[in-house]
Amino acid sequence: MSNENLEGKRWWIAVAAIVMQLCLGTVYAWSVFKKPLMTVHGWGETATQVTFMICIGLIGLAAAFGGTLVDKKGPKFVATIGGILFGIGTLLSGLADQMGSIWLLYLGFGVIAGIGNGFGYITPIATLIRWFPDKRGLVTGLAVMGFGAGAFFMGKIAPPMVISMGVAQTFYIWGVIFLVLVTASAQLYKNPPKGWLPAGFTPKAATGVSAAESFTFDEAVKTPQWWMLWGMLFLNVSAGLGLISQLSPMAQDVIKKANPEATAAALALAGGSILAYASIFNGLGRLFWAWTSDAIGRRNVFITMFITQAILYVILPYIGSEIIFTIIACYLLACYGGGFATMPAFAADSFGPGYIGKVYGIMLTAWGAAGIAGPLVFAAIKGIALYVAAGLLIAGLFLALGFKRPAPKTVKA
């Protein structure tokens, strides 16, 4: 295939990646479903929240395993499995509501959809890093922007659907949509020919480790830098996921204080709307921070995000204005998404693109660990959770300040 045709093909793969990530990102709208499930079935706060914790935890673990499969079996294979599992898991979530079984909800939304989501999430990232060595930050930002923005559509569309037809029917409809769109997008995925580079692009040392000098996973994991990146991702995601898991109820509490006569239905719609608006910035932040990292560096982006988030998490408990609460939530989710968008390029710069599926995929175990830690903290110790989140972000700041790219493999002591 000519270089011109390959140039066009890589942009079609980017489009497929965005579509897939839009579907997968709807998982972040979990808080829209949580209250209706608790109300109808009488399930407790923590017991219901376990569903989201299982899902996010397994997304990280599945992404780690899926990254290894992408390197071995190719992206189409892994993404197709991911689409099928994510769709089936969503359908089972509807059945769980219909049967009143929280254990089936754990299995459907938590285990099966979580594994499918992780397989689907890692595949376009690992693939696009290889296709776009000239726009590494931008293109990974575009892809994961879709993941962040997916909750916007669910946050806007799902609440009216739940009110009019119930949780079960809402899950059934979305399950079919996911089966079709995610698996169809997966069919476009393919790795570029070995050694291929975009026309006119010459890799520079400043852009990071070349494909030929790439670290294998076994080599990368032995460096302190790999663990520092893991820690930065874990800390940023823990704070963000904790907020996301409670954002709709938190927003409803702010609105309720200002308007005590608001009905439960009105509060649910308002909370879903704020979640939707913040989710837009979860997506836009992924694009903005990833694009910015191409200009000022990945490390500087993380330093900026950690400082500003820590300050805002301390301020958030004292906010009584719906508008100001929404603005802060939008920025915090933009930084949360920005961490996801910048880290793949950060890892590729540090360890090379050759084995990035496994090197970055296993780094996403940080996401899985954060998926348990963040929501658990926000559910169990609500009174001080926002201050704990600020502390985590300050710890991340110290890691970012101390990070230096690992010495090239060709340099010997």
Convert the pLDDT of each residue in 211-246 to its tens digit: 667 898 899 999 999 999 999 999 999 999 888 877
CA atoms lying within 13 Å on the CB side of residue 17: 26
How would DSSP label each residue in 342-398?
HHHHHHHHHH-STTHHHHHHHHTHHHHHHHHHHHHHHHH-TTTHHHHHHHHHHHHHH
pLDDT at 11 over 50: yes
Alpha helix locations (H) across 187-321? 217-220, 224-258, 264-296, 298-315
pLDDT at 72 over 80: yes
pLDDT in tens, 25-52: 898 788 789 889 998 999 988 889 889 8
In this structure, how many other beta carbons lie within 10 angstroms of the beta carbon of residue 165? 12
Using alpha carbons, list the distances in angstroms from residue 87 to 81, 173, 277. Answer: 10, 10, 25
What is the model's pTM? Answer: 0.74
pLDDT at 86 over 80: yes
* 207 class by beta-carbon count within 10 Å (0-12 exposed, 13-18 middle, 19+ buried): middle
pLDDT for 1 = 52
* Calpha distance 91→71 (Å, rounded): 30
pLDDT for 60 = 78
Looking up tokens 């409809």, which residue turns up?
A: 173
Best CA proximity match to 33, nearest among 123, 161, 206, 138: 161
pLDDT for 412 = 44
**Number of residues that this document lists for the chain:** 413
Residues 6+ positions from 117 with CB-CB distance below 8 Å: 24, 27, 55, 59, 62, 82, 86
Best CA proximity match to 7, nearest among 108, 133, 105: 133
| Greatest distance between any 2 Cα atoms in the chain | 70
Residues 6+ positions from 323 with CB-CB distance below 8 Å: none
Residues 6+ positions from 313 with CB-CB distance below 8 Å: 239, 332, 386, 387, 389, 390, 393
pLDDT in tens, 100-152: 999 999 999 999 999 999 999 888 888 888 888 777 777 777 777 777 678 77
* Calpha distance 130→86 (Å, rounded): 25
Residue pair 346/220 in contact (Cβ under 8 Å)? The answer is: no
Best CA proximity match to 15, nearest among 117, 119, 139: 139
* Calpha distance 69→187 (Å, rounded): 16
Local confidence band at 205 (pLDDT 50, 70, 90 cut-offs): low
More confident residue, 336 or 142: 336
pLDDT at 411 over 50: no
pLDDT for 2 = 56
Q: Which domains does the chain have, with CATH numbers?
A: 3-194+213-402 (1.20.1250.20)
* Calpha distance 209→223 (Å, rounded): 15
Residue pair 357/67 in contact (Cβ under 8 Å)? The answer is: yes
Tokens encoding 114 = 């979580």
Selection from 145-149, 346-350, 356-360 with the highest mean pLDDT: 346-350
Residue pair 319/254 in contact (Cβ under 8 Å)? The answer is: yes
Handedness of CA 348, 354, 359, 361 (dihedral sign): positive
DSSP-derived secondary structure letter, 261: T
pLDDT for 4 = 61
* Calpha distance 30→38 (Å, rounded): 12
* Calpha distance 19→128 (Å, rounded): 14
HEC string for 88-157: HHHHHHHHHHHHCCHHHHHHHHHHHHHHHHHHHHHHHHHHHHHHCCCCHHHHHHHHHHHHHHHHHHHHHH
pLDDT for 413 = 41
pLDDT in tens, 384-404: 888 999 999 999 999 999 999
Identity at 4, one-letter amino acid code: E
* Calpha distance 371→391 (Å, rounded): 17
Selection from 60-74, 139-153, 164-178 with the highest mean pLDDT: 164-178
Residues 6+ positions from 232 with CB-CB distance below 8 Å: 302, 339, 343, 396, 399, 400, 403
Percent of the chain with pLDDT over 70: 94
In this structure, how many other beta carbons lie within 10 angstroms of the beta carbon of residue 294? 18
